[in-house]
Chain A
Amino acid sequence: MEITRRRLLVLLPAAAVAWKYIQAGTPEASPNYKLSEHWWGMLIDIPKCIGCGSCVRACSAENDVPDGYFRTWIERYHVPDWAIERPEVESPNGGKDGFPPNQSTGKNFFVPKLCNHCADSPCTQVCPVGATFVSPDGVVLVDKNYCLGCRYCVQACPYGCRFINPKTNTAEKCTLCYHRITKGLTTACAEVCPTGARQLADLKNPSDPIHEFLKTHSVQVLKPHMATGAKVFYNGMDGSVR
């Protein structure tokens, strides 16, 4: 086809519209963010958590989490000194509205929970189409445009971190606020925590304070016998926590 001036005038606007369309479909760029330079996790300092529920509310608002479902939640433990294997645990509305005053004596503490962003995550292993995956920077994510909604990943998570979003009918979970951390921000939950009980940790960044903390404190992960390579580290965690 010969390109005449008249044809060019027709083609150029069409090409511009097409280009705009292509651009709209590409993800937002984070020019200063290099996937290979990060390996994300989180530090939870249990003695610092006061169970105020700010983190749950912030997460819910930031990520449009449907009511009754939780990307993060807080549990309150009461451990009788004679039965470490049978703690009394509660999490009314995921701790979103805080907790009623505690009358019981003995050991009481709060445990914030979220996806452990496991390096060897059983949830990504079982996904039949690979819609959930570990990103190169160590965050377990779900592609909601690809997820079948078979719920196998929900069954496979030992920590109860996943749910099916009733609006999208796909699996959903904590993304470690991926849209924030790739732009140099911290997670919504860590941002609002009044006591600093939650701290985003970049395990590949040598200047991240997590390294000094891990060197000087005894930290644990949840259910270590599951061998999932969990990357949410708990400081001061009681043996009764599960």
Chain B
Amino acid sequence: MQIPVEGFMYPNEVELQWSVLIVLYPFITGLVAGAFILASLERVFRVRAVKPTYRLALLTALAFLLVAPLPLQLHLGHPERSFEMYLTPHRSSAMAMFGFVYLWYLMAVLLLEIWLDYRRDIVLKAQSTSGLTRVVYRALTLGSSNISDRSLSIDDRVGYVITLIGIPSAFLLHGYVGFIFGSVKANPWWSSPLMPIVFIFSAMVSGIAAVMLLYMASTKLRGKEIDIRCVDVIAQYLFYTFVIDFSLEMVDLLQRIYEADESFRSLDFMVHTRLWTSQVIIQILLGTVTPIVMLGLTQVVKMSEAARKRIYAIAGSLTVVGIFAMRWNVVIGGQLFSKSFLGYTTYKMGFATREGLLTAIVLMLLPFAILWVLVKLLPPWPDATSHASGTAPAHGTT
């Protein structure tokens, strides 16, 4: 396949190394980190209004985290050797720590926190169901069926501590992904000390927006009323985080424009040509400025509930699209120009190939399928919890 080249590329640079799957990797881990931070708002920072989304946020984080390593695995030339990263990690490599950061976050933070939070419900379900469902719930109790007040209070305290540890861990997870790119000194599009920080804030933005949308959509699907106070508060946090994220990106951009180092002319040309649609139109105008203005309006103009909900839905969707475009522009944009700064290549995405569009779509749908199973298994709805507690004594005595 002939790849169109403009100007001069070093001969080995013509073919892009990191495909759309590597775009998905920071996008997915960003959603994980952001969803967890939203959950911690309720748990640690006592923002009671967002409680209806607490469990949904945790399950969303888990569903996406389970999928996070898949795009990397599919991308590797030798996936069967990936386990070597655990056995013989190269300590100077930013990438070598991925497995450990991932496992830490999955096992020590997310799974533990979800288990502790749901333990009471799981035990009650194990007592009240029968057949295969009972077996599943009994297995999920991990042999711990004590749900006395004292035991639950310990769960709560331990869960609180885990969330406390979880916040820096979420920052670590995504800041680390930013560092993988930001530490490549050979690539001026990536090399920036701001990269990990921008990644953390953009992760928060995408995760908060995704959970807000999921909450609104799932509540609608269940035929329940959306808790407007809850989405108001989430939208407020989304707005503030987005303003910080956008400011950081603008600081980075201004610095680059003003410094205008040896790479500037080349990168500037790239933004005005190959990245114009994905960066300027989709990422900045549609995916950042528009939702910020929309969310900002809801903060200063009095609007009806229906209007606010509509704005949150549109702004949230644009935000998620905008953050995806940001990941695309970082990963793909960083490979379109030559390190000689004299030319540009083109990204040709396959369709039904190992790293093609179809694979990317399946990988993006997979977390939703997992989330559906998780939601069926561990209902995150506030009414489900009250229902369980209401029926508890009856089952407890039978």
Residues of A within 8 A of B92 (CB): 125-126
- Per DSSP, chain A at the interface is loop
Q: In chain A between 152 and 181, which residues have their CB closer than 8 angstroms to a CB of chain B?
A: 152, 154-164, 168-170
- One digit per residue, 1 when the CB lies within 8 angstroms of any chain A CB and 0 when it does not, for chain B 83-110 equals 0110011101111101000000000000
Contact of B77 among A113, A127, A164 (CB under 8 A): A164
Contact mask for chain B residues 318-357; partner A; CB cutoff 8 A; 1 contact, 0 none: 0000000000000000010011111000000000000000
Q: Are A129 and B90 in contact (CB under 8 A)?
A: yes
- A197-242 contacts to B, CB under 8 A, are 226, 242
Q: Establish whether residues A148 and B339, one from each chain, have CB atoms under 8 Å apart when the complex forms.
A: no
B96 contacts across to A, CB distance below 8 A: 128-129
B303 on the A face (CB < 8 A) = no
CB pair B93–A152 under 8 Å, yes or no, is: yes
| B339 and A164 contacting across the interface, CB-CB below 8 Å | no
Q: Are A160 and B10 in contact (CB under 8 A)?
A: yes
Please give me the residue from chain A that is nearest to B190 by CB atom: A155
Interface size on A, residues (CB 8 A): 44
Contact mask for chain A residues 61-77; partner B; CB cutoff 8 A; 1 contact, 0 none:
00000000110010100
- Contact status A89-B17, CB under 8 Å: no
One of B145-153, B179-187, B195-203, B206-214 contacting the partner: B179-187
For the complex, is A33 an interface residue (Cβ under 8 Å from B)? no
Is the pair B187, A155 in contact by a Cβ cutoff of 8 Å? yes
List B residues 120-138 near A (Cβ within 8 Å): none
Known: A122-B186, A148-B84, A226-B185. A170 touches B339 (CB 8 A): no
Does B254 reach chain A (CB closer than 8 Å)?
no
* Contacts of A84-121 to chain B: CB distance below 8 A: 85-91, 93-94, 113
Question: Which residues on B sit within 8 Å (CB–CB) of A154?
Answer: 12, 17
Residues from chain B with Cβ under 8 Å of A170 in the complex: 77-78
Say whether B253 faces chain A, with CB atoms less than 8 Å apart: no
B335 to A, closest residue via Cβ: A155
B81 within 8 A of A: yes
Q: Are A146 and B77 in contact (CB under 8 A)?
A: no
- Provide the residues of chain A in CB contact with B11, threshold 8 Å: 69-70, 73, 91, 93-94, 160
Known: A69-B12, A122-B185, A151-B18. A89 touches B93 (CB 8 A): no
Q: How far is the CA of A159 from the CA of B10 in the complex (A)?
A: 8
Q: What separation, in Å, do the CA atoms of A154 and B77 have in the docked complex?
A: 13
CB of A150 within 8 Å of the partner chain: yes
A146 touches B342 (CB 8 A): no
Chain B residue with the shortest CB-CB distance to A95: B11
Residues in B neighbouring A130, C-beta threshold 8 A: 88, 90, 93
How many angstroms from the CA of A88 to the CA of B81 in the assembled complex? 42
Closest CB in chain A relative to B32 CB, distance in Å: 21
Given contacts A147-B78, A158-B186, is CB(A89)–CB(B12) below 8 Å?
no
Which residues on the A side are within 8 Å of B15 (C-beta)? 163
Complex: chain B residue closest to A132, CB-CB: B90
A160 neighbours in B (Cβ, 8 Å): 9-13, 338-340
Bound complex: CA A86 to CA B340 (Å): 10
A88-B9 Cα distance, complex, nearest whole Å: 11
Residue numbers of A with Cβ under 8 A of B are 69-70, 73, 75, 85-91, 93-94, 113, 122, 125-130, 146-152, 154-164, 168-170, 226, 242
Q: List 20 interface pairs A-B (beta carbons < 8 Å), by A numbering.
A: A69-B12, A70-B12, A73-B11, A75-B8, A88-B8, A89-B340, A94-B11, A126-B184, A128-B85, A128-B98, A129-B84, A129-B93, A130-B93, A148-B78, A150-B75, A150-B95, A155-B18, A156-B185, A168-B77, A242-B342
Which positions in B face A, CB cutoff 8 Å?
A: 8-13, 15, 17-18, 72, 75-78, 81-82, 84-85, 88-90, 92-96, 98, 180, 184-187, 262, 335, 338-342
